[in-house]
Chain A
């Protein structure tokens, strides 16, 4: 039988010994070879992307208490691809030094939501989640409030740390 070919005959014969040690050697080589293969498969699958501060622009002319969408160039570093892409954030200016910055990504399933000044609400077109000016969920399937982003002001220039979060869950977890 074939299994007899591979495994040791129940003897202590020289051939039985040879079969066992040959299997052992081949097994070891295969096992060691598995290490880089697994490493290569995992790769950077579990590595958080580095977030970076980006210059979003001048906020001196923004209206008070009104969300404004601000677009800015952002240098991404995705593995070996480095390019500049355009991102946007919702900025609400409370005073010259107090702001709220929302990520433009809907925490439900990741669509881009919009500000509806007539209703005074953020509404996501995809599944109809509705958020208040504070980011609180007012309706729809959204599992959590809008995600705020870290920001800082240098004179009148707004800098935002661009981060993304897992969508579809109540917790705000970075991706």
Chain B
């Protein structure tokens, strides 16, 4: 059963068409890595999934439940959109932690406001998440007291606290110093063993190859090529994919 089904998503900003018919699906526990050159629409797609942008056309379904349909999108209420967002989590490139809250407060804020469980349960869960991302000794620190890698791990724990069906990452390591990317990628890798369904936009080819079950190569708002990592990396079919991969290999 597909956890996520995205069908024929279109999105324009004014006259400029950014997404031109994106369709894919994800099974439970699958990790999808999205690669592609700058401006190809990867961030826009993740923002559509998290209802930060409204697609012009297409459908989004989670666990067979239709959450979004371009046909009836106008009629969606703010409350429906908010409910839909709970199916997804998003980890931003720049972490976007809440500066006035400590690590544990950042993680437990939304569960408390949304009253998901008792104070006690929320607290316990937050502590467990903090331990899982390896920050138990930093639970009362404020974001400015943490390194970028630590902040990003808190952001991941914060997104997990609400138990989303699909967790999305938008270039989670590209704002980090190279020596800090490893600790964040390791956390994501660990999540895979817990059967988390994830969509990861990344420039880390090595990571995509080793962790993802499925790769999407995006170019100019379309899925140029999609398949298991062996296929995309060893036997790319499209010329654009080949060009992109050889270029990103050069950079390394």
Genuine A/B complex: no
Interface residues of A, Cβ cutoff 8 Å to B? none
